A and B are shown apart, each in its own frame.
Chain A
Amino acid sequence: MATAEHKHPNYMAIFWWLAVLTVLEILIVLPWFRPENKLVVGVLLCALALGKAAIVAMYFMHLRFEARTLGLIAVTPLVIATLLVFVLLPDGFAVVKKTVGVKAATTEPVKH
């Protein structure tokens, strides 16, 4: 078994990047900074989280210095989780619709 040592990037620079991105995330949700549009907040927070996760995977987990196929193994769960949200949503909305329908039927006055 060979012991291959990785090239070590400047970890302190990566730490500061992660710290700054975390502060940005917190600033976005604070009342005096929070954008009015909820979609904008959601997109910004998701982008920052994915950016931070990518930095951790690329530099701390050394994915940047590994075979590309290993990167594919790492990305697969993210793709599966994203697809799963879209698979679950129609079912969830169907339950909501059904519940609303049942509530409406029970609150309607009975006609004799």
Chain B
Amino acid sequence: MSHVASMHGAVEPAESPLTPESWGKLGMWIFLAGDAVGFGTLLAGYGAMRATSGDWPSPMEVLGINLTAVMTFLLICSSVTMVKALEWLGRGDRTRARVLLFLTALGGAIFVSLQAYEWTHLIHRGLHINGNPWGASLFGTSFFLVTGFHGLHVTGGVIYLLAMMRVVKRRPVPAASYNAVEIAGLYWHFVDLVWIMVFTFMYLL
């Protein structure tokens, strides 16, 4: 170990200034802020394209909201199971926490499956990334880009949650995995938060 590296522990403050319980949590918040800028840019670009387009199709008529309303409800439910998992972990009940983490991941997996079904259905009706029968071709481009980017986040989240189930099982005591699960929860709730925005701006408005 170099001299600088050995000194690092002495110069670095022991506690993160904003999240005293862990540096990882601060790291996740900063990552999420960066990711939110990414989603914000996509949605802002969508808004600007739509506002300045003369033949933007009506999303309600093309996309429909029955299935996506169910998907929205599913993500809200999975956010509840996520916070409940953390709550039970805090009480020391590892088994219940793992079951709730599994249910959260299952909610995410069903969400992605429904999205795949929706995409297939829309593609068969003629909505493509480079054009569609209803109007501006950028409608399909922006739809697949934004919902696809979000779907990738959900897929990543499902893998992350399954990994957390393993972490909870392996750590010697429930409290040892509390921070890790809380950080995973931040990511999962962010995915839910982004969907709230996507649902409003891309389906309802």
Contact = CB atoms under 8 A, between A and B. Distances in A.
Partners in one complex: yes
B205 interface: yes
A81 B41 contact: yes
Contacts of A57: 189, 193
Contact of B40 (A18, A61, A67, A81): A81
B18 A69 contact: yes
B40 A29 contact: no
A62 to B, nearest CB: 8
A61 B25 CA distance: 11
Contact of A42 (B18, B45, B178, B205): B205
Contact of A3 (B21, B49, B72): B21
A74 to B, nearest CB: 7
A70 B29 contact: yes
B73 A22 contact: yes
Contacts of A6: 182
B29 A74 contact: yes
B18 A25 contact: no
A62 B181 CA distance: 13
Q: Is the interface of A mostly helix, strand, loop or mixed?
A: helix
Interface string A42-72: 1001101100110011001110001101100
Interface stretch (B2-10, B74-82, B121-129): B74-82
Given A22-B76, A56-B196, A80 B65 contact: no
B179 A1 contact: yes
A48 B189 contact: no
A77 B37 contact: yes
A105 interface: no
B68 to A, nearest CB: 10
B47 A85 contact: yes
A40 interface: no
Nearest to A48: B200
A20 to B, nearest CB: 11
Interface of B: 15, 17-22, 26, 29-30, 32-33, 36-37, 39-41, 43-45, 47-49, 51-54, 60, 65, 69, 72-73, 76-77, 79-80, 82-84, 86-87, 90, 175-176, 178-179, 182, 185-186, 189-190, 192-193, 196-197, 199-201, 204-205
Given A81-B41, A84-B40, 16 more contacts: A1-B21, A8-B90, A11-B83, A11-B84, A12-B80, A22-B72, A29-B60, A29-B204, A49-B197, A74-B32, A77-B33, A78-B40, A82-B44, A85-B44, A88-B44, A88-B45
The 5 closest A-B pairs by CB, nearest first: A81-B40, A92-B52, A77-B36, A88-B48, A49-B200
